[in-house]
Structure 1
Amino acid sequence: MTLTLQDRVVIVTGGFGVLGSALSRLLLERGARVAALDLSPAPTDIPVHSDFLAVGGVNLTDPASAGAAMHQVADAFGHINAIVNVAGGFAWEAFEDGALDTWDRMYQMNVRTAVVSTHAALPHIMKAGNGRVVNVSALAALKAGFGVAAYAASKAGVSRFTESLAEELKSRDVTVNAVMPSIIDTPGNRADMPDQDFSNWVTPEALSAVIAFLLSAEGQVITGACLPVSGRV
């Protein structure tokens, strides 16, 4: 069974990255109209698709920039049904020798982008009804390892934001959930960890399929969940 997202308008933040691109492709295959937002300029090699909008240069930590992007999407597609907050970042460093600025950077990249983007999209989602918010947290939010204190703390913030907003919106026809991947199988992660068994990792396509389920009509019964997507890590 293929879960359809026919004519649903979905915003994907961090839409030009590996996961954002994979997710956008899957959503388009399932009938959605997709707007990919990113801080980077829109790639020049994106195939033209009537149901796809690439919006580059969006500072998702800035309410004015995020708000303008949401209005651009709503003007282009008529409404917004859902947002998937993929935008984020990672840092590895020992706490003892690390920079305290890393904590601010991880908060900005992981928590603030999700909060600002959702705040900007939510009025449009509420207006359309039957809305979805999906955040990308991490397994490190549950159990942090060496060197990822700032990253894990920021992803824990994403999880708690998800749970709180789900409670706020559970009687208002909007579900709010998060996925918690382990290590995503990307070229960057392979380069950073060349000795690992990549087959144990989570592919962007597999993670995208879980997100697509949460966006679907079948996902309506789930809200407030932070779902581990761990592969075999």
Structure 2
Amino acid sequence: MEVVVTGAAGALGRSVLDEFLQGGARVVALDRPGAALDEVGARPGVHPVAVDLADQDAVGAAWAEVDAVTTAPDALVALAGGYVPGSLADLDAAALDGLWRSNVHSVLWSAREAASRMPDGGAIVTVGSRTAVDGPAPVAHATSKAAVVRITELLAEELRPQRVRVNCVLPSVIDTPANRTWMPPDLAARAVPPSAIAKVIAFLAGPDAWPISGARIPVYGDA
């Protein structure tokens, strides 16, 4: 299996890489340039590609490099995204634009490139958020993630004729080192390990999930 993962150098990305590599997959890891990408790219079975995932031209150039590794990926896992807290009163244009670029543009440009390379079927997995569909949340972040959920549903219909499945996972609070710095103990005890979410993502990307497309899968446990 050949998989392209965006946001591969993050906490969830590393767990997703672990899951695919343990299953024998070859992975192309896309993320911003830096030491984190260099670290994951040094792993056997991983080919790193540095890219600004919110920039259409940069993503197109990155996928030209992907083509040197695999001309027909089996799956795209679009993990890249950002988070900015704040209420409506705190919102400014820069924060809104940044969230839209990191959460929406990154999904659309990568999905566009991946779908054009899946003429005989494949899978795309995106990452929304529980707050995209339920409960109180920072308005800009939740809105951008709600767009990801709707994009997932629309692409599932558009790409169905070429047998490309598109599904979305909805995390709540993920148990990462960064999140541990602010979580109170009761929430930390309920946060979902990224390794558990990675297993769901790998299933959705794999052949056993062939009947599933257009789904939004809650992966928030009790968090």
Superposition TM-score, scaled by structure 1 size:
0.89
The percent of aligned pairs where both chains have the same amino acid is: 36
How far apart, CA to CA, are the structure 2 residues paired with 1:24 and 1:185? 17
Q: Aligned to 2:49, which of 52, 55, 58?
A: 55
**Secondary structure of residue in 2 paired with 1:183:** coil
What are the equivalent positions in structure 2 for 1:177-188 lying under 5 Å apart?
177-188=167-178
**Secondary structure of residue in 1 paired with 2:166:** strand
- Out of 111-120 and 149-158, give the one that drifted further: 111-120
Cα 1:101–1:221 change in 2 (3 A) is: same
How far apart, CA to CA, are the structure 2 residues paired with 1:52 and 1:64? 23
Cα 1:78–1:51 change in 2 (3 A) is: farther
| 8 Å contact from structure 1 (residues 67, 121) kept in 2 | no
Cα 1:180–1:203 change in 2 (3 A) is: same
**Secondary structure of residue in 1 paired with 2:33:** coil
Tell me what 1:4 maps to: none
Structure 1 residue 76: Cα displacement: 1.8
How far apart, CA to CA, are the structure 1 residues paired with 2:89 and 2:41? 46
How far apart, CA to CA, are the structure 2 residues paired with 1:207 and 1:85? 13
Structure 1 residue 50: Cα displacement: 4.6
How far apart, CA to CA, are the structure 2 residues paired with 1:97 and 1:173? 43
Structure 1 residue 48: Cα displacement: 4.1
How far apart, CA to CA, are the structure 2 residues paired with 1:51 and 1:196? 38
Tell me what 1:19 maps to: 12
Structure 1 residue 196: Cα displacement: 3.9
- Out of 181-190 and 37-46, give the one that drifted further: 37-46
Structure 1 residue 49: Cα displacement: 4.5
- Out of 170-179 and 44-53, give the one that drifted further: 44-53
Q: Aligned to 1:10, which of 3, 28, 41?
A: 3
Tell me what 2:121 maps to: 130
The one-letter code matched in structure 2 to 1:51 is G
How far apart, CA to CA, are the structure 2 residues paired with 1:113 and 1:90? 14
Structure 1 residue 9: Cα displacement: 1.0
Structure 1 unaligned spans of 5+: 1-7
What are the equivalent positions in structure 2 for 1:100-111 lying under 5 Å apart?
100-111=93-104
| 8 Å contact from structure 2 (residues 9, 40) kept in 1 | no
Structure 1 residue 195: Cα displacement: 4.0
Cα 1:149–1:46 change in 2 (3 A) is: closer
Tell me what 1:145 maps to: 136
| 8 Å contact from structure 1 (residues 131, 173) kept in 2 | yes
- Out of 186-195 and 175-184, give the one that drifted further: 186-195
How far apart, CA to CA, are the structure 2 residues paired with 1:18 and 1:89? 13
What are the equivalent positions in structure 2 for 1:1-233 lying under 5 Å apart?
8-41=1-34, 43=36, 44-46=38-40, 48-56=42-50, 58-126=51-119, 129-146=120-137, 148-233=138-223
How far apart, CA to CA, are the structure 2 residues paired with 1:35 and 1:82? 10
How far apart, CA to CA, are the structure 2 residues paired with 1:98 and 1:163? 28
- Out of 179-188 and 190-199, give the one that drifted further: 190-199
Aligned residues: 222
How far apart, CA to CA, are the structure 1 residues paired with 2:90 and 2:44? 50
How far apart, CA to CA, are the structure 2 residues paired with 1:186 and 1:152? 20
How far apart, CA to CA, are the structure 1 residues paired with 2:198 and 2:21? 12
How far apart, CA to CA, are the structure 1 residues paired with 2:78 and 2:40? 21
How far apart, CA to CA, are the structure 2 residues paired with 1:167 and 1:79? 21
Cα 1:93–1:123 change in 2 (3 A) is: same
Cα 1:73–1:50 change in 2 (3 A) is: farther
Cα 1:46–1:110 change in 2 (3 A) is: closer
| 8 Å contact from structure 1 (residues 185, 201) kept in 2 | yes
